[in-house]
Amino acid sequence: MRSAARARGLYWLCHYAALALFVAFALFPLFWLLKVSITPNDLLYSEGVRLWPSHATIAHYVSVIQHTQFPLYFRNSVIVSATTALLSTLIAAAAGYGFSRFRFRGKLWILGVMLVTQMFPLVMIVAPIFRLLAPLGLTNSLSGLVLVYTAFNVPFASFLMQSFFDGIPKELEEAAMIDGATRFQALRWIILPLTLPGLAATAGFVFTGAWSELLFALMLNSSSQVSTFPVGLLSFVSKFSVDFGQMMAAGVLALIPVCAFFLLIQRHLVQGLTAGAVKG
Amino acid sequence: MHGGATAEPALARRLSWRALTRATEPYLYTLPALLLIATVMMMPLVIGLSYAFRDITLLDPLSGGFVGLDHFRELYADASFWNALRNTVTWTATSVALQFALGLMLAQLLNRAFPGRALIQILVFLPWAVPSFLSGLNWAWLFNPVVGPLPYWFQAAGLTHGTDNLLSDPQHALWGPIIANVWWGIPFFAITLLAALQSIPRDIYEAAVMDGAGPWTRFRRITLPFLAPTMAITILLRTVWIANFADLIVVMTKGGPADSTQILASYIFTQAFQRLDFGYASAVAAVLVLLLLAYAGALLLLRRLLTARF
């Protein structure tokens, strides 16, 4: 009996030790980002690989906010990501509802096309998209990015929304329709309120995806006035690659919106992603 | 009689209107999504395929002519292309294998109740929320001997002789983006596999324990067969996705030093973005798509053969 207890204790020791390794691996890079961002410049070189500086400063954050274009990049990214999230969620909710509630001619084809869009390399359409958008005045513009990102995100978001609608019994809107409501009224007043968590999760996924996108933003927008955060940070890195404190402070700022979203949805992550786990 | 005569056409009209809305309704819901995907994704895809056979260079008004298979001949003789193809295989296979193995381990560790599980789950899944460009930059900084600790740790562990930047060593530079990719991608596998693990009925394990099955037997005979479908589909999708994933390499090394970290996806982007040679970029992209289709086809065929057998 004692040895069984000891074996169990040993098991849990290994279990926690393995988890500790995973946690350390996951957090260390972010910890280092934070650490350098608050290390004064003179200590950065003299103290080398110390885990925590002997004194901390917020000077890097202040100068990033006051003396660089990052506030502008941040604003651009917020506009692009929020608009993309809103549009994609609306369009995907409609499509997801259609897929969930109707059987119609061509449905299989539409689903197939949407699946294909998830498979081919997006780099393949960088060049044609540039050539298509340029004459329309949609390069070097935030609207162009919103259009492209919305299209990229709608297929995955539709699958996600479909799975949320599938989880709501059909009988609910059927009952409302028997009572005289049109299908759209039933959707608007009965089904949508029930899918609010699903809508929020979808919007969050799209927001994070748009916030992180780099290649198209780099290709389509060359003017720094309409640069998004990733592009701004990258050009900052190639121009002022000695100011590590400022770069990492900017990096920490870029993390804030996505981490906030992550904390909101992490509870539903495991269940929610099973439904439509197609994309990173 | 009177009322019926006037009411009937109105009723018929109403019925046909209702029939019409009923027939078109599904399309109304899906139309916006479909239009958007058709114009912003499918049309550029077709145009992009046509570029592969044309001479398209941005800012060159004389370009645009049809060149047949010229790009593909050029590509066949292009050493950088073959190098990028080899790197694509190494990059994809290593990243997927490590992400999967570590993701499965993590999912197993999280698949039982213990104090602190909720918190640990938040912490280990956090890298998933980090934007890919930032995780690339973050790891580039960690490998940089000026601000990062890793070169010193590698030296202390006896892995390297000096404290040079791993990313500037052509022999090993590809490991930089691979490590960043593994760090960033473990949560994805862990999340999907954990969800699949949680759907395995508990009592099967209890019955197996009663029959005296050890942990390894339980893993092989219960967990693996249950997870197999999820594993197959996530590995398939993830392989395709990672083969196309150029962000980390563009951010960390730009394909250098001396093309040693160039993969096909980043090569396509460099050709389009820096040389503005859209025709050649599209030809490389077409080859990449064909290879991925062949890979997916081969996997599905293999699966069909295997399931037909047993």
Instruction: Kindly report the pTM of this predicted structure.
Output: 0.84
Q: Is A30 within 8 Å of B126 when comparing Cβ atoms?
A: yes
How far A154 CA lies from chain B's nearest CA (Å)?
A: 7
Q: What is the tens place of the pLDDT at every residue in B191-233? A: 888 888 888 888 888 899 898 888 889 888 888 888 887 788 8
How far A147 CA lies from chain B's nearest CA (Å)?
A: 8
Please give the pLDDT value at position A278: 38
Please give the pLDDT value at position A271: 57
Q: How far apart are CA A51 and CA A242, in angstroms?
A: 20
How far A196 CA lies from chain B's nearest CA (Å)?
A: 18
Chain A residues in contact with B130 by the CB 8 A cut-off are: 30, 255, 258
* CA-to-CA dists, residue B271 to A139, B79, B171, B177, B254, angstroms: 19, 14, 23, 20, 12
Please give the pLDDT value at position A279: 39
Q: What is the mean pLDDT of residues B292-306?
A: 83
Chain A residues in contact with B134 by the CB 8 A cut-off are: 212, 230, 233, 251, 254-255
The beta-carbon neighbor of A117 closest among B37, B48, B58 is B37
Q: What is the mean pLDDT of residues A58-82?
A: 90
For A265, the closest chain B residue by CA position comes to: B122
Q: What is the mean pLDDT of residues A200-219?
A: 88
Q: Is B191 within 8 Å of A215 when comparing Cβ atoms?
A: no
Is the bond into B225 cis (omega within 30 degrees of 0)? no
Residue B216 at interface with chain A, using a CB cutoff of 8 Å: no
Per-residue pLDDT band for B138 (boundaries 50, 70, 90) equals very high
Per-residue pLDDT band for A277 (boundaries 50, 70, 90) equals very low
Q: Is B129 within 8 Å of A104 when comparing Cβ atoms?
A: no
CB A247: neighbour CB atoms within 10 A? 22
Per-residue pLDDT band for A48 (boundaries 50, 70, 90) equals low
Chain B residues in contact with A152 by the CB 8 A cut-off are: 40-41
The beta-carbon neighbor of B289 closest among A121, A218, A234 is A121
Q: Which residues pair with B277 in a beta bridge?
A: B57
Residue B47: is its pLDDT beyond 80? yes
**Which of the residues B96, B100, B133 would you substitute to probe the A interface, choosing the one with the greatest number of A C-beta atoms within 10 Å?**
B133
Top-confidence residue, A55 or B283: B283
Run of H or E residues at A25: helix A2-37
Instruction: Give the residue from A124, A127, A126 showing the smallest Cα distance to B291.
Output: A124
Chain A residues in contact with B198 by the CB 8 A cut-off are: 270
**Which of the residues A49, A123, A212 would you substitute to probe the B interface, choosing the one with the greatest number of B C-beta atoms within 10 Å?**
A123
Instruction: Give the residue from A87, A274, A116, A278 showing the smallest Cα distance to A199.
Output: A87
Q: Is A244 within 8 Å of B146 when comparing Cβ atoms?
A: yes
Chain B residues in contact with A42 by the CB 8 A cut-off are: none
Q: What is the mean pLDDT of residues B271-281?
A: 83
**A-contacting residues of B 231-260, CB under 8 Å?**
234, 237-238, 240-241, 243-244, 246-247, 250-251
Q: Is B122 within 8 Å of A130 when comparing Cβ atoms?
A: no
Dihedrals φ, ψ of A237, to 5°? -65, -40
Q: Is A95 within 8 Å of B40 when comparing Cβ atoms?
A: no
A-B contacts at Cβ under 8 angstroms? 260
How far B131 CA lies from chain A's nearest CA (Å)?
A: 5
Residue B84 at interface with chain A, using a CB cutoff of 8 Å: no
Per-residue pLDDT band for B103 (boundaries 50, 70, 90) equals very high
Chain A residues in contact with B42 by the CB 8 A cut-off are: 113, 117
Q: Please state the three-class secondary structure of B248-310 as a single string.
A: HHHHHCCCCCCCCCCCHHHHHHHHHHCCCEHHHHHHHHHHHHHHHHHHHHHHHHHHHHHHHHC
Q: What is the mean pLDDT of residues A52-75?
A: 86
Chain B residues in contact with A12 by the CB 8 A cut-off are: 114
Q: How far apart are CA A29 and CA B148, in angstroms?
A: 10
Q: Is A255 within 8 Å of B286 when comparing Cβ atoms?
A: no
Q: What class has domain A63-276?
A: mainly alpha
The beta-carbon neighbor of B268 closest among A123, A151, A269 is A123
**Which of the residues A14, A28, A73, A124 would you substitute to probe the B interface, choosing the one with the greatest number of B C-beta atoms within 10 Å?**
A124
The beta-carbon neighbor of A33 closest among B124, B138, B153 is B138
CB A109: neighbour CB atoms within 10 A? 9
Most confident of B62-66, B179-183, B200-204, B219-223: B179-183
What DSSP state is assigned to residue A58? -
Residue A275: is its pLDDT beyond 70? no
Q: Which residues pair with B66 in a beta bridge?
A: B54
Q: How far apart are CA B288 and CA B264, in angstroms?
A: 7
The beta-carbon neighbor of B192 closest among A49, A237, A277 is A277
**What amino acid is encoded at B212 in this protein?**
G
For B36, the closest chain A residue by CA position comes to: A151
How far B171 CA lies from chain A's nearest CA (Å)?
A: 24
Place of tokens 């508990």: B202
Chain A residues in contact with B139 by the CB 8 A cut-off are: 29
Q: What is the tens place of the pLDDT at every residue in A118-157? A: 777 787 788 889 888 988 988 889 999 999 999 999 998 9
Q: How far apart are CA A252 and CA A74, in angstroms?
A: 12
How far B36 CA lies from chain A's nearest CA (Å)?
A: 6
Residue B95 at interface with chain A, using a CB cutoff of 8 Å: no
Q: Which domains does chain B have, with CATH numbers?
A: 81-309 (1.10.3720.10)
Most confident of A52-61, A156-165, B96-105, B188-197: B96-105
Q: Is A208 within 8 Å of B25 when comparing Cβ atoms?
A: no
How far B272 CA lies from chain A's nearest CA (Å)?
A: 6
Please give the pLDDT value at position A1: 58
